[in-house]
Chains A and B, each alone.
With several copies, the nearest count.
Chain A
């Protein structure tokens, strides 16, 4: 147990910091979910990152990465969020699909997809859910029927993040029409501009889009677009879900920056608020620190050859509940101004707290609802019997 950065790690931090200071756009980019313009501005930022070889620092150099370890990844993330750099429009690609491709892809697939992903040339959407398959992913009905060297895709996906403007999507399809539940599923990629694909934006509670429904009618893709063996989709998908919940998708730095902003907001209004708000603010800081320390701990273990297990589920529960509490604390400080849109003349320093609050409410739902996660913890971590 040694919680001191090595000289190399310190040097690396300074390298990231200098680069970020030189390259992070001085003004925030427009939302990548609200307009094509915002989306393309973010793609441009992905390209800038890629040119500095910062697209995905843990990937091998062959695919545009730097082959760094998880501690370095954490340092990178800390500096990334510290600098206020843009959200990653390609997070479905680089954080979700990327690691899975790295593990299950053929050399040809890796060469074809990873490089374009790291460079920002291809932005990915995920297409997990279906109208009747939310937390119950094994209920997917969309099909991929083999026809020579191709698959023909049919079905209806929903809650696809980034699908409105992205280039590619990945999702589960039933390749064995007679199969039930999690058997007979395969993981297949498809271009969102392929003939037969129709993307329908879903208006969200905060008025932005971001999620979409995808209707697939006889969409033809080469069998090359299948990741892993036919019928192995469920296994691969579970591995992806592990990455998603576990480590990459919600890096602690993001929450630590939010906690710092919350403390600033509190200090500015300390004398107008109830004393209990102070406790909520301290709690949010404590929780973001605990989350960061926990991820450092996991990263140390993984670096030494460990595997991520049910802690992916404890992480999911912890950050999603912390995120809601943090935003509720901010709203309680804003008081009567909490309901204002940022365009209101009296908005003052309300920031994006209300947007963030709405976004946080989705936390306990997506990427496997917290109810599912508690089942997983109870059954796999504590060893309680299945119903």
Chain B
């Protein structure tokens, strides 16, 4: 039931796509405000049980899983706005990593009894699947996952978290639960050999980079929004600091970065399935510029907040930390610039090739 486009060059999201994202946005606006983040942090819990239940009830776990095995059969372009909303909210729970990346990978493998069982439970929202992909040195949310899907020597293994040794690798972002895993993998845990795994791991990397870019863009916009709200209220020298050109121009500069990362992100989402040098470069482009937009926006927000930006008492720091973490998640700048170089130095260039892809007849 993938949301279909309009069958001609059209850069707008469909109403269905907008609606799905709108529902997630509304839910997170209700349940994932900075006060909620603070509460979770103080509780020491990994997840906000109530919020995660509400998210699970939306049935998004199977968003990108094929309809033939119980998913919604959506495409990445149908999910990109959801990922952006997760970034905007600084969501602690692994909606993007689970539904956007790990689960569709697991579901895409040749199914066995074990994999089918795990996929079914995950689709039902009973468990999450955490992914150990070679693009990342750590596995996020491994401890709360019901199953770990781990790449080792280019093959894929499916194990229970209890069967491997997990070491917590604490992140500056209080909501990122990173682990390294040792042991527990064997011939018996292997669910895909090298031949099958290669293309599917590559595809997971593309989704990972794409949806991480989306989250970074959401973070960037949130930082600008927080700073704008503050600049309208905070008075210095007898007027709101938002009246000063220095503040205006810094925020305008950050917004320009966002405005020109956004269409790249959406184009990357719309063309990811081509899985060629053109689509990969677009994804990498999106990841790079979304990271940069988040960096500039977060630092600008800190600066606009003045001393306050340096404290726990304002909310910017949550977004600054997430931005730092995601910049290197699913490939850092060097990796993605390398993919762009490959496309620029070896691919077709020029205005007629904006939408070129390997299979295109244009």
Q: Which residues of A contact B (CB under 8 A)?
A: 1-6, 9-10, 13, 71, 77-79, 81-82, 129, 132, 134-136, 139, 158-159, 202-205, 211, 252-253, 256-257, 259-260, 263, 267, 273-274, 278-279, 281-282, 285-287, 289-294, 296-297, 299-301, 304, 311, 314, 317-318, 324, 331-332, 335-341, 343-347, 354, 358, 361-362, 364-366, 369-371, 373-375, 377-379, 381-387
Partner of A382, one of B240, B251, B313, B333: B251
Q: How far is the CA of A215 from the CA of B222 in the complex (A)?
A: 33
B344 touches A382 (CB 8 A): no
A9 touches B307 (CB 8 A): no
Whether B98 sits at the interface, judged by CB under 8 Å, is: no
Q: How far is the CA of A347 from the CA of B9 in the complex (A)?
A: 43
A314 touches B260 (CB 8 A): yes
Most chain A CB within a 10 A radius of its CB, from B239, B247, B317, B325: B317
A263 touches B169 (CB 8 A): no
- List chain A residues, Cβ under 8 A from B14: 1
Q: How far is the CA of A118 from the CA of B350 in the complex (A)?
A: 27
Q: How far is the CA of A159 from the CA of B352 in the complex (A)?
A: 34
B310 touches A362 (CB 8 A): yes
A3 touches B270 (CB 8 A): yes
Beyond A3-B355, A205-B312, A282-B340, whether A134 also contacts B236 by CB under 8 A is yes
- List chain A residues, Cβ under 8 A from B267: 3, 293
> Considering only CB atoms, which chain A residue lies closest to B312 in the complex?
A203
Whether B8 sits at the interface, judged by CB under 8 Å, is: yes
A336 touches B245 (CB 8 A): no
Whether B52 sits at the interface, judged by CB under 8 Å, is: no
Q: Which residues of B contact A (CB under 8 A)?
A: 5-14, 17, 77, 136-138, 167-173, 176, 178, 180, 224, 228, 231-232, 235-237, 239-240, 242-249, 251-253, 255-256, 259-264, 266-267, 269-271, 285, 288-289, 299, 302-303, 306-307, 309-313, 317, 320-321, 324-325, 328-329, 332-334, 337, 340-341, 344-345, 349-352, 354-355, 361-362
Beyond A339-B171, A344-B170, whether A290 also contacts B285 by CB under 8 A is yes
Q: How far is the CA of A309 from the CA of B251 in the complex (A)?
A: 18
A129 touches B307 (CB 8 A): yes
Across the A-B interface, the 6 shortest Cβ-Cβ residue pairs = A2-B5, A378-B248, A253-B351, A300-B11, A293-B263, A78-B351
- List chain A residues, Cβ under 8 A from B248: 374-375, 378-379, 384
> Considering only CB atoms, which chain A residue lies closest to B267 in the complex?
A293
- List chain A residues, Cβ under 8 A from B235: 132
A and B contact pairs by CB, cutoff 8 A, 8 listed: A78-B354, A286-B288, A291-B260, A297-B266, A361-B299, A361-B309, A385-B239, A385-B243
A2 touches B352 (CB 8 A): no
A285 touches B228 (CB 8 A): no
- List chain B residues, Cβ under 8 A from A256: 349-351, 354
> Considering only CB atoms, which chain B residue lies closest to A379 in the complex?
B248
Beyond A314-B256, A371-B246, whether A202 also contacts B313 by CB under 8 A is yes
B328 touches A338 (CB 8 A): yes
A339 touches B173 (CB 8 A): yes
A2 touches B10 (CB 8 A): yes
A378 touches B137 (CB 8 A): no
> Considering only CB atoms, which chain B residue lies closest to A129 in the complex?
B307
- List chain B residues, Cβ under 8 A from A202: 311-313
B259 touches A294 (CB 8 A): yes
Q: How many Å from the CB of B180 to the closest CB on chain A?
A: 6
A4 touches B9 (CB 8 A): yes
A274 touches B333 (CB 8 A): yes
- List chain A residues, Cβ under 8 A from B345: 263, 267
> Considering only CB atoms, which chain B residue lies closest to A134 in the complex?
B306
> Considering only CB atoms, which chain A residue lies closest to B271 in the complex?
A3
Q: How many Å from the CB of B64 to the closest CB on chain A?
A: 16
Q: How far is the CA of A379 from the CA of B333 in the complex (A)?
A: 33
Q: How far is the CA of A78 from the CA of B356 in the complex (A)?
A: 13
> Considering only CB atoms, which chain B residue lies closest to A206 in the complex?
B172
B256 touches A205 (CB 8 A): no
Q: How far is the CA of A320 from the CA of B251 in the complex (A)?
A: 18
A382 touches B252 (CB 8 A): yes
- List chain B residues, Cβ under 8 A from A378: 242, 247-249, 251-252
- List chain A residues, Cβ under 8 A from B354: 78, 252, 256, 289, 292-293, 296
Q: How many Å from the CB of A160 to the closest CB on chain B?
A: 11
A252 touches B351 (CB 8 A): yes
Most chain A CB within a 10 A radius of its CB, from B239, B288, B312: B312
Q: How far is the CA of A289 from the CA of B239 in the complex (A)?
A: 40
Q: How many Å from the CB of B148 to the closest CB on chain A?
A: 17
Beyond A3-B355, A256-B350, whether A384 also contacts B247 by CB under 8 A is yes
Q: How far is the CA of A293 from the CA of B11 in the complex (A)?
A: 9
B307 touches A387 (CB 8 A): no
Q: How many Å from the CB of A369 to the closest CB on chain B?
A: 7
Beyond A82-B351, A293-B263, A346-B180, whether A136 also contacts B12 by CB under 8 A is no
Given contact pairs A205-B310, A324-B299, enumerate 9 new A-B contacts (beta carbons under 8 Å).
A78-B351, A82-B352, A293-B354, A318-B256, A335-B332, A346-B180, A361-B302, A378-B242, A384-B243
Q: How far is the CA of A250 from the CA of B311 in the complex (A)?
A: 22
Q: How far is the CA of A387 from the CA of B7 in the complex (A)?
A: 47
Q: How many Å from the CB of B339 to the closest CB on chain A?
A: 10
- List chain A residues, Cβ under 8 A from B136: 336
Beyond A82-B352, A378-B248, A384-B247, whether A335 also contacts B328 by CB under 8 A is yes
B311 touches A9 (CB 8 A): no
Q: How far is the CA of A257 from the CA of B351 in the complex (A)?
A: 6
> Considering only CB atoms, which chain A residue lies closest to B81 in the complex?
A1
- List chain A residues, Cβ under 8 A from B270: 1-3
Partner of A385, one of B169, B242, B259, B266: B242
A2 touches B8 (CB 8 A): yes
Beyond A296-B11, A361-B302, whether A10 also contacts B362 by CB under 8 A is yes
Beyond A132-B235, A382-B251, whether A293 also contacts B271 by CB under 8 A is no
- List chain A residues, Cβ under 8 A from B325: 339
- List chain A residues, Cβ under 8 A from B244: 371, 387
Q: How far is the CA of A276 from the CA of B5 in the complex (A)?
A: 40
